[in-house]
Amino acid sequence: MKNLLTDIAGVRVGHADDKALASGVTAVIFDRPAVAAIDIRGGGPGIREGAVLDLENTVEQIHGIALAGGSAFGLEAGGGVQAWLAEQGRGFAIGGALVPIVPGAICFDLLNGGDKAWGRFAPYRDLGYAAAAAAAADFALGSVGAGLGATTANLKGGIGSASAVTAGGIRVAALAVVNAVGSVTVGDGPWFWAAPFEAGDEFGGGGLPIDFTPDMLEMRIKGGTSATSVENTTLAVVVTDAALTKPQARRLAMMAQTGFARAIYPVHAPLDGDVVFAAATGEKPVDPLAGLTELGMVAANVVARAIARGVYEATALPFPGALPAWKDRFGFVCSRKPDTP
């Protein structure tokens, strides 16, 4: 176990980004088609192929997922991932044709200081292709791929990932792009809201503050009263090696959304575009009641951890006025005693 999404066999992740652009794409590639569903909680989502994942629709399996910056321009990243998959002979068979099914979602990073004057066509399709081609079992966290330009209310955001095994032996893992309107840390301190679910010191080991003061519970949102619905979102991909139906994958996505509430404050706001994709590779049977409940419980914990890691591993953008990274402000590992200098 590498504490990554790729701890699920047959799943690979690739990034492609442009430092001058301060934006990029992250591709999740399935070696075999995976049953998938989606759950949307934020008020301003940007989705590609979301309807295909609705329970009443025909297609049940997908071949990849494209996550991108660039707001609506970034939806073209899915076309690049689709092109790469088509070259590999992958897709949904319709007669003699193969159509790769690549849902996707985007986050807004157009005002982060990067050069977005790309001319007639945005670069996200090419970045999507490059991300798919780079997909591997090992991948970087922090300010890379779709998380390169991501921010939160008070700190730089980025890509995070985490994994776990249920007591029943089912693996579940998550990847998150953290560009939230809210804060992933408590007040002005180093403590992560997701601290109770941390495994080891994966995001600093700082625990929670000894006391919660009223100022820690005040609303901190990106842009303050001027925030808009297109500026923020957290995207997550949850994958398990369990054998799930499409409705069960939808339930997994819904339960995994609880992890957002454990890691971000506030969350699921009108200003957010929060989305969870859930996919199942179908290797292990799972009890449809108690087993699925346990799987969803652990998935929510894994999502919370992935979100915290996305901020913990991030690095600041090299532009004037850029938000600091967590490690720039608080170091790599903070004390478990919050009152210690």
Q: Which of 301, 337, 332 is nearest to 198 (CA)?
A: 301
Per-residue pLDDT, averaged over 153-165, amounts to 96
Question: Per this entry, what is the length of the chain?
Answer: 341
Q: How many CA atoms lie within 13 A of 318 on its CB side?
A: 4
Can you give the pLDDT at residue 224?
56
Per-residue pLDDT, averaged over 90-118, amounts to 94
C-beta separation of 64 from 132 below 8 A:
yes
Can you give the pLDDT at residue 181?
86
Q: Average pLDDT, whole number, for the chain?
A: 92
Can you give the pLDDT at residue 232?
66
Per-residue pLDDT, averaged over 157-169, amounts to 97
CA 105 to chain centre: 10
Q: Is the pLDDT of residue 140 over 90?
A: yes
Tens of pLDDT, residue by residue over 89-100, are 999 999 889 999
Q: Is the pLDDT of residue 132 over 60?
A: yes
Helix (H) or strand (E) holding 77: helix 77-87
Can you give the pLDDT at residue 41?
86
CA 339 to chain centre: 32
Please report which confidence band the pLDDT of residue 210 belongs to, taking 50, 70 and 90 as the band edges.
confident
Q: Is the pLDDT of residue 336 over 60?
A: no
How far apart CA 231 and CA 242 sit, in angstroms, is 35
Can you give the pLDDT at residue 205?
93
Distance in Å from the first CA to the final CA of the chain = 34
Q: How many CA atoms lie within 13 A of 307 on its CB side?
A: 38
Can you give the pLDDT at residue 116?
95
State the DSSP string of 90-122.
-SEEETTEEE----EEE---TTSSS-----SS-
Q: Is the pLDDT of residue 316 over 70?
A: yes
- Written as one letter, the residue type at 50 is G
pLDDT above 90 as % of the chain: 80
Please report which confidence band the pLDDT of residue 7 belongs to, taking 50, 70 and 90 as the band edges.
very high
Can you give the pLDDT at residue 268?
83
How far apart CA 28 and CA 67 sit, in angstroms, is 8
Q: Is the pLDDT of residue 122 over 70?
A: yes
Tens of pLDDT, residue by residue over 233-283, are 899 999 999 999 999 999 999 999 999 999 999 888 776 778 999 999 999
How far apart CA 173 and CA 239 sit, in angstroms, is 5
Tens of pLDDT, residue by residue over 217-237, are 777 776 654 444 345 689 999
Helix (H) or strand (E) holding 24: strand 23-40
State the DSSP string of 264-328.
-BS-S-TT---EEEEEEEEEE---TTHHHHHHHHHHHHHHHHHHHHHHHT----SSTTPPPPHHH
